[in-house]
Chains A and B, each alone.
Chain A
C-alpha cells in the first residue's frame, strides 16, 4: 500500500500498524508524536491502529525554536 509520510509517498507492506511503521523507520522509543489524517494517534494506540492505503501520516518531534 502507499501512504503519504511527512509529505512524501511511501510504499509499505499492507496492514502495518503505527507501531510497525515506527519500528520500520527505526524510531522506536524516540520522543515523537503521530498524526494520521490530521487526527492525533495517542501512543497507547500505536500498536492497534492499522494504516490504510492513502493515509496521510505525520511523524513529528521537538526541535530548536523560539
Chain B
C-alpha cells in the first residue's frame, strides 16, 4: 500500500471560467433545501466553489431580520452564479440579469436560462439566443442552459457564451443523461467549457457526464431532495472526481465477448 501511495498522479488542469480557475468541477444550486443551515452544510460537503442563486422580490413587511442566503453563501468565499430561472422570455431574462448584477455589485457572471413550458422546463432556444446576444453585448459573461443540440451549442459558443450547459434530462427530473451521444458531440465540438446542467439524479449520473468529457456538472435537486442531502453532496463530489479521472485515464475498449484476465498458459488441468 505504501508503494501505491507514492505514485504521483498527473495533475488535472483546473476548470477555467471568465478568467478564474476552480479546483471543483461540481456546481451546485441552493434551492429546495429545508433551511439555510442545511444549504450551507450541503454546499460545504459538495466542495463546490460556484453556487447558483435565484433573484426574487423581497418580502415587504415580513420580518426584515430574516437570515439572507448570501449570509450563508458568502460572495467573498463562493462565486455566485445568479440564474434566470422562471423566465420564459428573453426580456425577462435580461431584466433579471441586470438586477442580479446590481445586487452583486457589478458581478457579471450569469446563468442564462429561458424556459419553454412549465411541464418540461425545456429550454426555449429561440428566446435563449436573443437573450444571450443582448447580454453579451451588455458585457455579461454568459453561461447558458441549452438543449443538447450540438449545432445550437456551437452557435452559442460562437456568439460569445463562456460556457454551454446542455440539459441531461428535464430540470428536477433526476432521469440521468438521456442522450449521451449528443452530449459527447457537444463536448467534441466545443472550445468553451461544457457543463451538464439539469437531469442528474444520483452519483453515477454525474460520473457518466464527466466520463463523456464534460468539464463540469451543475445540479440542485439531486442533492437537496436526497434522503440525506449532505451525504449525497459528498457522494456527488466523489462521483465528479471519479468520472473526471476515468475520462482522463481513458476507458478500455468495449468488446462483445469475454476476454480472460488470467493467462491460459501454465494451466495444470
Contacts and interface: CB of A to CB of B under 8 A. Distances in A.
B100 to A, nearest CB: 7
B85 A65 contact: yes
B19 interface: no
B64 A25 contact: yes
Bin the interface of chain B by size. 35 or more
Interface string B202-220: 0000000000000000111
Of B54, B64, B80, B99, chain A has the most CB atoms within 10 Å of the CB of B99
Interface string A45-66: 0000000000000111111111
Contacts, number: 104
Main secondary structure of the interface of B (DSSP, over half): mixed
B57 A60 contact: yes
B64 A66 contact: no
Interface in A18-66: 25-27, 30-35, 38, 40-43, 58-66
B83 A61 contact: no
Contacts of A34: 102
A38 B30 CA distance: 27
A63 B61 contact: no
A10 B60 CA distance: 11
Contacts of A6: 57-58, 60
Interface of B: 29-33, 39, 52-58, 60-61, 64, 68-70, 80, 82-83, 85, 95, 98-100, 102-104, 171-172, 198, 218-221
9 contacts: A7-B57, A43-B102, A60-B56, A62-B80, A63-B53, A64-B39, A65-B85, A66-B29, A66-B32
